[in-house]
Structure 1
Amino acid sequence: MNTLPLYVDDCFAIRQAARHISKLYERHLSEVDMTPTQFSILSTLARAPGLTMLEMAEAMVMDRTTLIRTLKPLERNGLVGESSELGNKRRLRLNITAAGRAKLDEAIGHWRTAQASFETSFGEREAARLRLELFRLTSDNSQR
């Protein structure tokens, strides 16, 4: 049997770290009945309203099916709305609603607490460096 030691498995290390960090943010954001992914969607739409499903899926690095499943509770709770493009009823644009902005405002303090907790335990400069490297990884389209 051919096995690799875990310390050389990049995929395992990244997924394990993602789950570990996600738990921290989940714990804090659950105080306002929100998941980290829902927080990211609301925050993305607050910065860039009117994204199409495809643009949002690309921004979140998610497939459309997963995005639609994640959006359903946000739409059901009136936090996100859809509007069709003029002349193209099949192309929907996503927007954060007033209720969504209020929910995001409520959640941001909990997100900041989670962020501060991570940066305290990992190191503020190390966290900033890690973030830059992770964003560099996901913006590199040559690996897709």
Structure 2
Amino acid sequence: MSKPISIPYETTIHVRDHCMCLAVQRAARALARMFDDALRPHDLTNGQFSLLMSLNRPVPPNLTSVASLLAMDRTTLTAALKPLERRGLVSVTADPKDRRGRLLTLTPEGLAVLSRALPVWTKAHGELEQVLTPGEMSRLCGDMRKIL
């Protein structure tokens, strides 16, 4: 009979208290819930808000550039676009310069939804400043960008 594998509970506590990945995941889930709750009256999730905001550009971006900005793979982005496209908030068209590529455009309705949701996002973001100072928020965002 072999001896059962055992990891000391102290190791579990150490990982809980020192794992950067776990800390970021937990914070991301808490932030996502907070912004999801705030944006719910506009029938948006925080991810959809970020996706719509990423399309608010003078020139329609291609799928690859948006996927890169949002740190998503193209397949995940394509799936995330579907409900927004069905709602008429986003238009996906062939790139006239390369028919294999896709250009993403915020529709007038998408811009309207985004403009109504932006004050809600601003208010929720301001609530974070009650927990983190503007300097802490700036540093934290900068530190996270280093990982990307």
Fold conserved (TM > 0.5)?
yes
C-alpha distance in 2, partners of 1:131/1:87?
Answer: 35
C-alpha distance in 2, partners of 1:82/1:119?
Answer: 36
Q: Does 1:82 align with 2:92?
A: yes
Which of 9, 12, 20 is residue 30 of structure 2 equivalent to?
20
Gaps of 5+ in 2: 1-5
TM-score normalised by length of structure 1: 0.88
- Over aligned residues, Cα RMSD in angstroms? 1.5
Deviation at 1:48, TM superposition (A): 5.8
Aligned to 1:130: 140
Deviations 1:70-106 (A, max 9, x none): 1111100111101212253221111111111101000
Gaps of 5+ in 1: 139-144
Q: Which has the higher contact order (CA 8 A, sep 6+)?
A: 1
Structure 1 residues 56-71: aligned runs within 5 Å: 56-71=66-81
C-alpha distance in 1, partners of 2:31/2:96?
Answer: 41
Change (3 A) 1:23 1:49: farther
Deviation at 1:129, TM superposition (A): 1.3
Which of 108, 111, 125 is residue 115 of structure 1 equivalent to?
125
Q: What is the percentage of aligned positions where both structures have the same residue?
A: 32
Aligned to 1:55: 65
Higher helix proportion (structure 1 or 2): 1
C-alpha distance in 2, partners of 1:92/1:45?
Answer: 13
After TM superposition, the runs of 4+ consecutive aligned structure 1 residues lying more than 6 A away are none
1:79, 1:100 within 8 Å by CA — same for their partners in 2?
Answer: yes
